Amino acid sequence: MSAPHPNLTLFPRGLSAGARLLIYLLISIAVITADTRFHALDRFRAGVNVLLYPMQTLIQTPELTYDRVTAFFVKQAQLERENNALRLSFIQYSAAMQRYRNLQLENQRLRTLLGAQQRTPLHTRLAEILAVPRDPYQLKAIVNLGSQQHIQPGQAVIDEAGLLGQVTRVYPYSSEITLLTNKDQSVPVLIQRTGQRAIMFGTGINDTVEIRYLPHNTDVRTGDLLVTSGIDGVYPSGLTVARVNQIDLSGSRAFAHIECKPVAAVDRNRQVLIIDAAIPAPAPTKTEKH
């Protein structure tokens, strides 16, 4: 018969659970007292904090990311609203300045005329370009205003520099703009320096338009500015259109060939202005003679 193992006893003896609890309480009190009075656990606490810092950062990352993303989009929306407001003000100011410069020159020729009709200010609405046709020969654009916003075919479209084209087709919530560089587009203009009237035609190229059917002896120079004449009733007068870029007066042509460059960014705009019909100025009342 084998002898019992010396470490195995039927009734083990040792400290009771109550005694162990008392010892642990005394140790805890001693540690708390030492830490409170002598700051004995400061280094230990710092070490534990260093070890737990990556975990705390990982736990807080989703919340911090959410706060940052939310703040980003809120700030972006606010900046976009402010940018749109500033751009609208800038475009309106530029459009007004175009007409004022032309009026200064025109008033010099009309000083001696009495009762000249007073020009009315432009009434415009800001529109955003939604799409551009992929066909390179169709120089058009689609904007986000339509018949529901009282847009009508024929309304002129400008940017901060000058004329872009006109509305040619209207849908309920969008409209099609044909750019002035389109081959099917023509604009009555006048040479600002001389007042010579002409018709400008699109060429199908974004940065080129041309004047046709002017005689070879026409007083036109490279750099001359072209503005809308307003005689067609579609485009308000005085809008900047293009600047003369090249003149061909060779005898091989029946008329002078004049190439011009549009001043507006016909292929680089995101937002444009659609000009409403001008509100006519009230006619001056005649005073009765007594």
pLDDT of residue 109: 60
Task: Give the model's pLDDT for residue 279.
Answer: 41
pLDDT for residue 284: 45
* Structure confidence at residue 286 (pLDDT): 44
Task: Give the pLDDT of residue 245.
Answer: 94
Does CATH number 1.10.10.10 belong to domain 122-275? Answer: no
What is the pTM assigned to this prediction?
0.58
pLDDT of 200 reads 95
Query: Residue 126 pairs with which residues in a beta bridge?
Result: 273
Looking at residue 226, what is its pLDDT? 96
Sketch the domain layout of the chain as residue ranges: 122-275
Confidence at residue 26, expressed as pLDDT on a 0 to 100 scale = 81
Chunked in runs of 10, what are the mean pLDDT values of the chain (290 residues)? 54 69 79 72 71 73 76 79 83 78 69 47 85 82 93 92 93 94 93 93 92 90 94 88 91 86 86 74 42
So what's the pLDDT on residue 9?
53
pLDDT at 171: 93
